[in-house]
Amino acid sequence: MRGQPLRWLVAAVVVAGAAVAAVQIADGALLIKGFGEVVRRPELLLLLLGGYAAAFVLRAVAWKGLLGRAGAGVTSGRLLSILHASLFANHALPVKAGE
């Protein structure tokens, strides 16, 4: 609990920086149009986010099956966190780090 405020602060700064970069790099009119579409059709956003989340759950299940007995002590939550760390590494590094 001690480091939680710092984590949230770092996360907020990273998200704000990414948002500023996106606005600077992307076409502003197109961004506004996209956000307007999300406001008009929020079920599409929920569908897309649900599918994205389901992909990670299915990957965790696949890894659990691949690990077999070797992964008996590894929880699905742990596998999900490893998959998300891998996703972050793939976005942050200039080379693909793997699944």
Ramachandran region of residue 74, left (φ > 0), alpha (ψ -120 to 50) or beta? beta
CA distances from 62 to 16, 23, 35, 55, 69 (A): 34, 37, 34, 10, 14
CA 72/CA 14 separation, integer angstroms: 35
Average pLDDT, the chain: 86
Determine what percent of the chain is predicted with pLDDT higher than 90: 31
pTM of the model: 0.60
Kindly state the tokens that stand for 89: 């590494």
Q: 3-class SS at 34?
A: helix
20-34, 54-68, 80-94: which is most confident: 54-68
Residues present in the chain in total: 99
- Mean pLDDT, residues 22-38: 86
95's tokens: 């080379």
User: If pLDDT is split at 50, 70 and 90, which confidence band does 69 have?
Assistant: confident
pLDDT, mean of residues 34-59 = 92
Q: Helix, strand or coil for residue 2?
A: coil
